[in-house]
Each structure stands twice: as structure tokens, then as C-alpha cells.
Amino acid sequence: MCGIVGLFLKDKALEPQLGAMLTEMLITMTDRGPDSAGIAIYGAAGNRAKLTVQSDHPDQDFATLAEDLEASLGAPVTLRANDTHAVLELPADQVEAARAAIADRPGRIRVMSDGDVIEIYKEVGLPRDVAARFDLPAMSGTHGIGHTRMATESAVTTEGAHPFSTGPDQCLVHNGSLSNHNSLRRKLRREGVRIESENDTEVGAAYLTWKMQNGATLGEALEASLTDLDGFFTFVVGTKEGFGVVRDPIACKPAVMAETDQYVAFGSEYRALVNLPGIDAARVWEPEPATVYFWSH
């Protein structure tokens, strides 16, 4: 049992409040997942790529990271630290080289995400504590998704927390369990798809990345997941443009959505949505089984 929240803003006036609204939604889902929590925030695009990284020893591992990457890449790199995470900004054509350089460094720096607009923050702990560590309520953006985890498929670690990102500006949060993740992980790794953990959700994210790398749209990839992924799942997928939702054909995992002129919201339960502005006048519904929903800017 896990908790999922998502918020897609139509009204630009609400963008400074995105982090605060998502944080309140996330904390409401604490009893569905007290082990760890995470959030993906999609902000404004700049002229450089973002690489979000994490370390258990940030004072040591981040101290000279930007300078060392600049020397290795021969390109300007800036670093903005936030507790155990940091956002590196660098030229878009240097992202893969930066990943390789980070992997070769001593210590243990994990890449959480890369892309033009995405930033991912996740850690072990109660959602309220995780949100406070990163000052999530102060973050702004156009849309975001979050997750509170109750571990079933892998250990309670930062690596096992959601969201998982396996492609640029793409991430996935998941409530459920995939039964064929081991065989699919082996297949995807043979195809060259990057998978870092033993978590079944990361395999789901990597599957969607693989389908899109082979020409599928996100909608087509989500449709294909209904056939290729075994188990019970509710997925919320974040992209640069928006987010998508799909539930497996049995749809035993709870989900509710709400839409107004200002936003589209997703929650594992309605109580995650009750404090959103204008919720009393929103169109509220339960997503249909085996049906793909998507909203984009």
C-alpha cells in the first residue's frame, strides 16, 4: 500500500504554490506510506540541462563536484545544494558525460533525474520530515507528482523511494506490485536501458522509456503496459509537458481525480484533495480501469 499525489496546473497564478499544495497532499497520505517519500517538481525551462543528484555524505561529496565536473567536461557547471540533494546545471550535450564522470568519482553519488525542467527529491522518512528537509513547500512549478512508500518489493532505502526517473524529464510513481519485473529488468538491461535498483517500479519506468525510445508516444507506451506488465498497478507518469495516469484492468488500487479550470489533481484517496482551492466545485471521478489519461501544457 502506497500513496500517490499529482497536480497539473492550468492557472499560472498557482505556480508559486505548487510545492505547498503538493506537500499538503503528500502528508495527508502518510498512513499509506510512512517508510519514505519523494516528489518530482517540473519548473520553468532554462537554457541549460538539470542533473539532480543525491549523496548520504553531501558535505564531502558535493564540496568540489561542480569544479571537478567543469574540469572534466570543459564546460561551465553550477551546483545548488539542498540537504542531501543538489541540482547541477550544465550544457545539455554534456549530461551523459557528466553521468559517467560522477560514476567514476569516489564516494557514492546517485543521479535522481536529468532533463530541462525536472528536479526529484526523495529520502527515507515520514513525508512531513522529507518535505521539511528539502523545503518542498517553497518550490514552484507547472506540475508535479509525489509518493509515500510502504515497502514491499525492496528495502527501505533512498534508492527504493519514488519517483523513479529513467529518461529525460520523465518519472514514474506507482501503487501496486509488478510480478514480472525480474525478467523484464533483464530484458531491458540487455536493450541498454539504465536501471539502477531492484525496485519493481523502476522497471515500470524503464519499460515506458524503452517503448518511447523505440518510437511510441507516452499514450501508446501506457497502453502497451496494460499487456506487457503483470500485476496490479496505478501509475502516474510525469513528463516535461504534463502527467499521465493509467490503472491496470482490474484496478484494485484506489485512485481519484479532480479537475477545475485551475488544475487537474490526482490522489490515492479523496482526502488528499480536500484542501485544494475550488475542490467543492470540481469534477471528481475515479479513473476507469485500463484507460489512459493525459494532460499537457
d(CA 268, CA 3): 6
Catalytic residues: 2
Dihedral (Cα; 121, 125, 131, 132), 10-degree rounding: -120
Q: Is 93 exposed, middle or buried (0-12, 13-18, 19+ CB in 10 A)?
A: exposed
d(CA 58, CA 56): 6
Distances from the Cα of 212 to the Cαs of 157, 168, 193, in angstroms? 28, 11, 12
Backbone angles phi, psi at 221, to 5 degrees: -65, -40
d(CA 181, CA 56): 27
